[in-house]
């Protein structure tokens, strides 16, 4: 019998348009894989979502990005509804979205991270947090939204007050010079290393979704020890957070340092982009799994993260004990 898959797209985060765009590719792949696909444009209206999920699908394919979609919110809703869904569960999604918590957990299993701290917007604007060069990031946004690199000798402010909508605190971390490398992890296995070469300063929103000059090189032309370390860091981070399905770790490689001493984890993305040409698609393809097979695999390994609850009598329904 054909499985029914509810594909969640849209959402209400700053990455809504990304979700809608990439969702079209996922929809086509799932249909090619033989699934009956029902596309649901998700909003904050839970009653509408519950109605859209009736009749109940066999699986939900989560294609929501940013707040609400990859921070444990939609995962919790689906767990409560008892519907299997793709990617990580509530806890891993929530921690993975919080860059500071991710780095603390990663450090606990031997992963090197760039030094950083949470600071108030006022302290950041006054440049009282750390010496340049450094990077300012929203604590829990994706797709490099709101990220700004502050180098020595520049006049730009650490935060653009006119466009900053990410709260009164942010993460400030030491800038790691060198090269950007990413590792996809599927079901606990690191798949390879991809180097990203951009014309701008870093792999920002425009480089990811607008520019046609960004280069992705797989496998990355780095020493074997660097590739091995990057893959170990990615797997260890995935495992310690309790991730499932596909995830992607973003790292920096300072090639001025010896051996693998220049490899640093920046963050993990528990909901990496899944359209043709994305790193989380390229690396499985490099390992022999094409796009349709990848999307189908995520459906077939989807699960509800709450254990099945047996019907139990509540204490109020239990018969009163007889007195002796």
Residue 153, pLDDT score: 87
For the chain, give me the number of helices (H) and strands (E)? 10, 13
Strands 263-269 and 36-42, sheet pairing: unpaired
269 is in an annotated binding site: yes
Q: What is the CATH number of domain 88-112+177-270?
A: 3.30.470.20
3-state DSSP percent of the chain in helix, strand and coil, to 5: 30, 20, 50
300 is in an annotated binding site: no
Q: How many CB atoms lie within 10 A of CB 92?
A: 24
* Helical segments of 138-223, H only: 205-209
How far apart CA 229 and CA 315 sit, in angstroms, is: 54
Q: Residue 157, CB half-sphere, CA atoms under 13 Å: how many?
A: 13
250 is in an annotated binding site: yes
How far apart CA 27 and CA 39 sit, in angstroms, is: 8
Instruction: With CA atoms as reference, report the closest residue to 200 among 211, 192, 216, 190.
Output: 211
- Break the chain into its structural domains and give their ranges: 4-86, 88-112+177-270, 115-175
Residue 308, pLDDT score: 56
Residue 1, pLDDT score: 76
Residues with Cβ within 8 Å of residue 210, at least 6 apart in sequence:
none
Q: How many CB atoms lie within 10 A of CB 139?
A: 16
Read off the DSSP letter of residue 167.
Answer: -
The tokens for 69 are 């979609």
pTM of the entire structure?
0.88
Contact 293, 134 (CB under 8 A): no
Any idea which architecture 115-175 has in CATH?
2-Layer Sandwich (3.30)
Annotated catalytic residues are 15, 143, 278
Its CATH class, for the domain covering 4-86, is alpha beta
> Between the CA of residue 305 and those of 74, 184, 284, 297, 302, what are the distances in Å?
12, 22, 25, 17, 9
How far apart CA 126 and CA 76 sit, in angstroms, is: 39
Q: What is the mean pLDDT of each run of 10 residues along the chain (324 residues)?
A: 95 93 97 98 96 97 95 97 97 94 97 94 93 90 76 88 86 95 98 89 49 84 98 98 98 97 97 95 98 98 78 41 37
Q: Which residue has the tokens 């920002």?
A: 204
Q: How many CB atoms lie within 10 A of CB 75?
A: 26
How far apart CA 51 and CA 37 sit, in angstroms, is: 16
Handedness of CA 236, 238, 241, 245 (dihedral sign): negative
Instruction: With CA atoms as reference, report the closest residue to 291 among 302, 304, 279.
Output: 279
């Amino acid at each position: 019998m054909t499985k029914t898959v509810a594909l969640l797209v849209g959402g209400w985060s700053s990455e809504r348009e990304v979700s809608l765009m990439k969702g079209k590719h996922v929809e086509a792949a799932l249909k090619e894989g033989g699934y009956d696909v029902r596309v649901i444009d998700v909003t904050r209206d839970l009653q509408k979502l519950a109605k859209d999920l009736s009749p109940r699908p066999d699986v939900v394919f989560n294609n929501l990005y940013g707040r609400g979609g990859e921070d444990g919110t939609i995962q919790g809703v689906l767990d409560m509804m008892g519907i299997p869904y793709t990617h990580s569960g509530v806890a891993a999604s929530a921690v993975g979205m919080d860059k500071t918590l991710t780095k603390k957990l990663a450090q606990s299993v031997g992963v090197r991270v760039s030094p950083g701290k949470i600071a108030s917007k006022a302290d950041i604007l006054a440049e009282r947090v750390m010496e340049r060069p450094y990077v300012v990031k929203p604590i829990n946004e994706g797709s490099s939204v709101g990220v700004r690199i502050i180098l020595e000798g520049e006049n730009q402010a650490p935060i653009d007050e006119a466009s900053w909508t990410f709260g009164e605190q942010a993460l400030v971390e030491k800038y790691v010079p060198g090269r950007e490398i990413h590792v996809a992890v599927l079901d606990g296995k690191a798949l390879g290393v991809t180097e990203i070469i951009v014309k701008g300063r870093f792999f920002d929103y425009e480089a990811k979704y607008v520019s046609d000059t960004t280069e992705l090189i797989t496998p990355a032309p780095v020493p074997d020890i660097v590739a091995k370390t990057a893959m170990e860091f990615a797997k260890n981070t995935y495992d310690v957070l309790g991730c499932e399905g596909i995830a992607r770790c973003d790292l920096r490689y300072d090639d001025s340092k010896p051996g693998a001493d220049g490899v640093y984890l920046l963050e993990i993305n528990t909901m990496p982009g899944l359209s043709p040409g994305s790193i989380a698609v390229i690396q499985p393809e490099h390992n022999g799994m094409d796009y349709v097979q990848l999307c189908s695999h995520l459906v077939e390994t989807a699960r509800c993260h709450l254990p099945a609850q047996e019907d139990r009598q509540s204490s109020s329904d239990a018969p009163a004990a007889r007195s002796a």
